[in-house]
A and B are shown apart, each in its own frame.
Chain A
Amino acid sequence: MEFTTQDKGLYTEVSANGRLNMVAAPKLREVIAGVVDAGGKRIVVNLTDTTFMDSSGLGALIGCLKLARQSGGDLRIAAVQPQVNMVLELTSMHRVLTPHSTPEEAFRND
């Protein structure tokens, strides 16, 4: 899995390309920790090209959400594919990580 980080002005976008599984999960934690350390408060994880997520990947996202909130920011997700959505709903985690249709919309109403 490959991650790319882009400063979008109002938020930092982290795109995750590939499978967010037990192999990729620690890398996601590192990337998000780097964004938070650099002072990023509003983070959007763009999941357009994330073809798969398991409980390890979800655990990493939850950990990253907690980290962002602890530093006074927030983390949101956008553009989820069907398998990722299935995992979110199965675990009820869509209630705390509500998918937004596009990265631009994630912080639009704040």
Chain B
Amino acid sequence: MTDVVARRTLQEPATDQAIEDLHDALDQLWVDAGFVPAMDQMAFTTAVIEAASNVVQHGVPAEGAELNLGVELTVSSERLRAVISEIGAAALDPVPDLDGSAPSADADDDALLEDFDESGRGLSMIRALVTTVTVERQGDTNVWVLSRDSTGS
């Protein structure tokens, strides 16, 4: 286990404001972890916002529960890690396909435009931007873990 050199956490109702606050938390994280190469910062930030936005836009609260977004961001010398918790959520049904292949790049431009699918695109972007992504159910929470190996050290 490598030492964590920067960390930010956030937990609040899963609303638009949570996404703006998460952007600010990421900006602050990179102030503390400026040694992480710009490409890694960009890719990780994008994946984290995609995953959190997915919670805010598509998360379904369990009966009688309030849906909250929890995020823990950690930077160690060789790894960027985000634990994104969908707290008070119903179980994911269906469980997102995290192994699916990216849409074909061979499609012609018109097909590319017609077939654009935002939510599916978000998941395939996450897969492309991080080294590993997992999702599992823990109690009343769906937990997404995103990890990107950083080339910085």
Contacts and interface: CB of A to CB of B under 8 A. Distances in A.
Given A21-B23, A52-B45, A83-B42, A59 B118 contact: yes
A9 interface: no
B112 A93 contact: yes
A83 B53 CA distance: 17
Contacts of A65: 113
B56 A22 contact: yes
Interface residues on A, range: 20 to 34
B125 A91 contact: yes
B151 interface: no
B53 A62 contact: no
A93 B116 contact: yes
B20 interface: yes
B113 A21 contact: no
Nearest to B56: A22
Interface in B34-58: 38, 42-43, 45-46, 49-50, 53, 56-57
Interface of A: 19, 21-23, 52, 54-56, 58-59, 62, 65-66, 82-83, 86-87, 90-93, 95-96
13 contacts: A21-B19, A22-B16, A22-B19, A23-B19, A56-B118, A58-B121, A59-B121, A82-B42, A83-B45, A87-B46, A90-B128, A95-B109, A95-B112
